[in-house]
Structure 1
Amino acid sequence: MTASNPARGAVTALVATILIWAYSWVVMKQVLQHAGPFDFAALRYVLGALVLFGALVATRQSLSPPPFVPTLLIGLCQTTAFQGLGQWALVSGGAGRVALLAYTMPFWAVLLAWMILHERLTPRRWLGLGLAAIGLTCIIEPWHGLGNTSSTLLAIGAGAAWAMGTVLSKRVFLHHAPSPLNLTAWQMLYGAIALVVIALCVPQRSIEWTWGFIGGLAYSVVMASSIAWGLWLVVLQRLPTAVATLASLGVPIVSVLLAWAILHERPSAMEVLGIAFVLLGLAAVSGVGLRKA
């Protein structure tokens, strides 16, 4: 019984992480009623970086920065580009659709790891990429003229940027071995500074400091960027990698359902079919149900 308690707690943490991150896409869509996309992203990640540095101090971990150039590149990809493009995509795109396209990250990560880290593309991964391509085609429906072209491309670009940040992070871990919290805090700081510069340069609507905006900002900083990240560490420490990968399958699907229930963004039949193919592709890429971690 005692041995099963850590695993049970990790499963609970996994479910909580999925729900928090999924709902954050709805929140990100809602706050656009009160602020421009880059102002919100900049505020969120400046405050998020401060929280992570506070966590470093609280856990008595080193505040020494990882190698500057690799960490800067991670920050520009994983924070600036992923969050900036994702928030921008939400200006004209639905929360569920944008989340789903952004969470195609694992597919781009497989391709980038093949090109940059020379990781072998196994038949299973090729199968996953093929299923993902079918799913994306169903979701985007190019025979209808791509629908909202800008939002679609921005969301896919956000996922690709996140994938590049993930691959670059893996390379830094391999060569320099920083702690996950240390690397995350510093890359978020660098990425947040870039977001601040973009927010100052791009004309946007003025921020309306309503309770709705403050609540959305608080949720994004405290829940999505801090608590959920801590829960995710628990998941990674206690569960097999293949099981933990379920988070990447669950978040966009729950986001679609929450956007349907809260924002009345009802997915079309082709989008539902596309979601099914994307899920199959993610399962193939991650190896969930096919191997033991």
Structure 2
Amino acid sequence: MQHIPKSAVAALLVNTTIWGLSWTGMRALESMGLHPLWATAAIFAGCTAMLLAAKRRDIGQLRRHPELIGVALASGLTNTAFNVAIAYGDVVRVILLFYLMPIWAVVLARIVLHEAVTARSLGRVALGLSGAVIVLYQPRLGLPLPRTLPDWLAVLGGMAFAVNNVVLRRLHGVSDGARAIAMLSGGTLLASLLGLAFAAAGQVSWPAAVPGAAWPLVGMWSVLFLVSNLCLQYGVTRLPANITAVVMLAEILVASLSAWLLGAAELRLQDVVGGAFIIAAPWLIRDRRAAAPSAA
């Protein structure tokens, strides 16, 4: 029987809980006038600074492992797309679309990690896509496709997250500190560049007029996201990709329940049914060949 490290599972649950509640921070900062792009840049800059102070010895690995550039880009795209989507979109809808991630992970795990594609993994893809169709379906709009910018950003963020997790698993020999530096600096750089571009175009306000009360909140989320990131890459590098996909779905429950309790989302019957399909999908990939970690 395959051994599943409990510490790795616990680390991923900490990560999913923090991210499942992150919508509260993004919306609070947005209400104070700090656009999610600037909020993401500031939060991840704080994370990166704290990590660099603690892990200076790991900086050299960034030069020896150019693959970490891919981690930085994938992580930056994941965090930026998700934070903007969760700030402006329906929380439950964004989370469900983001967590089509296991579908993309099946394909990527085959290409990058050489994990087997089985009948069960194909069933997982079919069930996950069926759940997405149910969530997105509105008779008056025709085809059940993402319609709004938050919808598309949620899907894009999920794709990038799948890339991030698979590449992290392939780089299991790189130190935790070097991987974390790449991920956090990627979020800082991409969000900053997009913020500058959109602000210069007049699409996003500059952060100069943000009240001082916003910055302690930025500091708090910097600490939380740093803890979340360290937990993520600890768990991802110690669990098979398919097991990681199952555990990470806990974020759907945390975000949906918190949004419902705080009045930020209304759960429709089709959201519940479609969400059940998406949550159930990863459990289909349970055969031994797919569950074994790749040696690649």
Shift, 1:95, TM fit: 2.3
Amino acid in structure 2 at the alignment position of 1:202: F
Which residue of the other structure, out of 201, 206, 209, is the alignment partner of 2:197?
A: 201
Are the equivalent residues in 1 in contact too, given 2:240–2:291 (CA < 8 A)?
no
Matched residue, 2:167: 168
Matched residue, 1:98: 94
What percentage of residue pairs aligned between the two structures are identical?
Answer: 22
How many residue pairs get aligned? The number is 279
Q: Deviations over 1:122-158 (max 9, x none)?
A: 1111111111011111111153425742221111011
Deviates more, 1:227-236 or 1:94-103: 227-236
Matched residue, 1:217: 218
Amino acid in structure 1 at the alignment position of 2:90: G
Shift, 1:219, TM fit: 3.2
Are the equivalent residues in 1 in contact too, given 2:12–2:247 (CA < 8 A)?
yes
Deviates more, 1:253-262 or 1:30-39: 30-39
Distance, in Å, in 2 between the alignment partners of 1:253 and 1:191 is: 25
Amino acid in structure 2 at the alignment position of 1:249: L
Distance, in Å, in 2 between the alignment partners of 1:233 and 1:190 is: 14
Does residue 64 in structure 1 map to residue 65 in structure 2? no
Distance, in Å, in 2 between the alignment partners of 1:218 and 1:38 is: 16
Distance, in Å, in 2 between the alignment partners of 1:189 and 1:160 is: 19
Does residue 38 in structure 1 map to residue 34 in structure 2? no
Gap change, CA 1:216 and 1:107, over 3 Å in 2: farther
Which residue of the other structure, out of 120, 124, 130, is the alignment partner of 2:120?
A: 124
Gap change, CA 1:112 and 1:199, over 3 Å in 2: same
Distance, in Å, in 2 between the alignment partners of 1:147 and 1:194 is: 24
Distance, in Å, in 1 between the alignment partners of 2:9 and 2:262 is: 26
Distance, in Å, in 2 between the alignment partners of 1:218 and 1:182 is: 22
Distance, in Å, in 1 between the alignment partners of 2:48 and 2:108 is: 27
Distance, in Å, in 1 between the alignment partners of 2:182 and 2:132 is: 33
Matched residue, 1:280: 280
1:16-165 alignment, distance < 5 Å: 16-33=14-31, 34-57=33-56, 61=58, 63-67=60-64, 69-79=66-76, 81-141=77-137, 143-145=139-141, 146=145, 148-165=147-164
Distance, in Å, in 2 between the alignment partners of 1:283 and 1:249 is: 11
Amino acid in structure 2 at the alignment position of 1:282: P
Distance, in Å, in 2 between the alignment partners of 1:243 and 1:113 is: 12
Matched residue, 2:249: 249
Gaps of 5+ in 1: 1-5
Secondary structure at the aligned position of 2:67 is classed as: helix
Gap change, CA 1:114 and 1:246, over 3 Å in 2: closer
TM-score scaled by length of structure 1? 0.80
Are the equivalent residues in 2 in contact too, given 1:107–1:285 (CA < 8 A)?
no
Are the equivalent residues in 2 in contact too, given 1:19–1:251 (CA < 8 A)?
yes
Distance, in Å, in 2 between the alignment partners of 1:40 and 1:287 is: 42
Shift, 1:118, TM fit: 4.1
Shift, 1:112, TM fit: 2.2
Shift, 1:243, TM fit: 6.5
Deviates more, 1:213-222 or 1:158-167: 213-222
Secondary structure at the aligned position of 1:202 is classed as: helix
TM-score scaled by length of structure 2? 0.79
Amino acid in structure 2 at the alignment position of 1:72: I
Gap change, CA 1:48 and 1:130, over 3 Å in 2: same
Matched residue, 2:228: 228
Distance, in Å, in 1 between the alignment partners of 2:213 and 2:105 is: 35
Distance, in Å, in 2 between the alignment partners of 1:238 and 1:183 is: 14
Secondary structure at the aligned position of 2:160 is classed as: helix
Deviates more, 1:235-244 or 1:184-193: 235-244
Matched residue, 1:3: none
